[in-house]
């Protein structure tokens, strides 16, 4: 039995983007039921929760009573359990490498660029920093463009690596950059056309909808 631990409430801009989406998507791909447990700021600071998640972040996936933290480790774990890793040895290795690549060679750059407007709008340093961060994001998009040209998915067949990378790409949704990279754009659309993605987003949005309606 899987239990997904996530935030009780989030700002409007984060609805649909909370990182539990990655775990939800994998679970939905496999038609795997799961329950949701929500936490608040007091839990995030508690030593009990820090034993499960040392940074007080979400998500945590409880597999039975075993807590798994870091969305990369959660997807790697679910990939094996739910048949979302490729079957060939080399393709499995590729999926693992791309999981790490999405988290360390791509997301930090996309995140730094996206955060300029999400978290730092109007701060004194933002406009001077923007060109460098935009250039680095475009460099990584170009690297991805070359890899994805002629390939539907990162490791041959759809895998947890694609759940990770396509959710990382969403950091640039409103940047106008993705449209400059046709293979990357087509790849993201291919991933997000999957019914399990839509179900995962809907499930996350539904969790926060009552609070929004009541606000």
Q: How far is CA 191 from the centre of its chain?
A: 12
- The verdict on 68 binding a second copy (CB under 8 A) reads yes
- The verdict on 147 binding a second copy (CB under 8 A) reads yes
- The verdict on 156 binding a second copy (CB under 8 A) reads no
Cβ 156 to a second copy shortest distance, Å = 14
Cα→Cα distances 197→23, 47, 87, 134, 148, Å: 11, 33, 22, 28, 20
Reply yes or no: is the peptide bond before residue 46 cis, omega within 30 of 0: no
Which position among 33, 55, 210, 214 is part of the footprint of a second copy (CB under 8 A)?
55
Q: By the 8 A CB rule, do 201 and 16 touch?
A: yes
Number of residues counted as binding a second copy (CB under 8 A): 42
Q: Computed over its alpha carbons, how large is the radius of gyration of the chain?
A: 17
Nearest residue to 164 via CA among 79, 38, 62, 80: 79
- The verdict on 126 binding a second copy (CB under 8 A) reads yes
Residue number, 24 or 77, with CB nearest to a second copy: 77
**H or E element, residue 68:** strand 66-69
Stretch that binds a second copy, among 7-15, 32-40, 98-106, 193-201 (CB under 8 A): 98-106
- The verdict on 97 binding a second copy (CB under 8 A) reads yes
| Site residues, a second copy (CB under 8 A) | 47, 50, 54-57, 66, 68-73, 76-77, 90, 93, 96-97, 99-101, 103-105, 107-108, 111-112, 120, 123-126, 128-129, 132, 140, 143-144, 146-147
């Amino acid at each position: 039995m899987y239990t997904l631990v996530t935030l009780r409430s989030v700002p409007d801009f984060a609805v649909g983007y909370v990182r539990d989406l990655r775990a939800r998507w994998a679970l939905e791909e496999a038609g795997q039921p799961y329950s949701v447990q929500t936490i608040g700021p007091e839990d995030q600071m508690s030593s009990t929760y820090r034993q499960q998640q040392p940074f007080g972040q979400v998500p945590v996936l409880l597999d039975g009573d075993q807590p798994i933290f870091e969305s990369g480790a959660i997807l790697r774990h679910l990939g094996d359990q739910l048949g979302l890793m490729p079957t060939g040895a080399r393709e499995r290795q590729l999926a693992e490498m791309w999981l790490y690549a999405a988290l360390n060679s791509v997301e930090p750059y996309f995140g730094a660029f996206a955060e300029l407007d999400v978290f730092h709008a109007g701060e004194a340093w933002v406009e001077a920093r923007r060109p460098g961060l935009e250039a680095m994001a475009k460099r990584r998009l170009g690297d991805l463009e070359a890899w994805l040209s002629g390939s539907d998915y990162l490791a041959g067949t759809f895998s947890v690596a694609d759940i990770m990378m396509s959710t990382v790409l969403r950091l640039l949704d409103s940047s106008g950059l993705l449209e400059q990279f046709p293979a990357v754009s087509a790849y993201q659309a291919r991933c997000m056309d999957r019914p399990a993605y839509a179900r995962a987003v809907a499930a996350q949005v539904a969790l926060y909808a009552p609070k929004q309606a009541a606000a």
